[in-house]
Amino acid sequence: MICNKIIDNSHLFEKNNSYIVDTNVLLALFGNKVFINQASNNPKLSDAIKYYNKAVSVKAEVYVPSIVISEFVNRFFRQRFKELKQKDPNQYQDYKKDYRMSQDYKTDSEYIKQVIKQDILHNIKLINDEFDKVDIDTIFNFGNADFNDNLIIHIANQNGMYLISGDNDTKTIPF
């Protein structure tokens, strides 16, 4: 699946354009130090962050579907578990049994909830994915992208939006 609206360095960001943001951009902007450091070492993701900032600066509408928020939260928690496991491998051996039942998880949950409410949703609007109208055969035509990537591209195409992503899974999609 290919995104119908392509962003490159010559793209003109205008207020009347609409954009949809992928998970990796949210993680690089609003995640922890690990994700921010990864972004600085990834030219495609660095470009995507610049594109996001340009879209926001011209007051264009930027959207995110719930699947991106879900992926953002899950990747954040998995990264936190990995960090805690490295610090204390005796306490944190199993993600579900050890981390999700811990005070660290409760604290992280409150933190990530505030990030979503105060940081992400302050500049980015939620968009209904209208999954009930999705052509499942198209979404399962993976190519180099995964299910979530194809769904996000589908949402962008259905709504005439530009996709802002630095995802290596979509590197064959020229944007």
What is this structure's pTM?
0.87
SS (H, E, C) 115-130: HHHHHHHHHCEEECCC
pLDDT digits (tens, 9 = 90+) for 112-161: 999 999 999 998 999 988 888 888 887 777 566 688 888 888 899 889 99
pLDDT digits (tens, 9 = 90+) for 26-74: 999 998 777 777 777 888 888 999 999 999 999 999 999 999 999 999 9
Domain ranges of the chain: 23-166
Cα 47 to Cα 43: distance, rounded to the nearest angstrom: 6
Cα 83 to Cα 75: distance, rounded to the nearest angstrom: 12
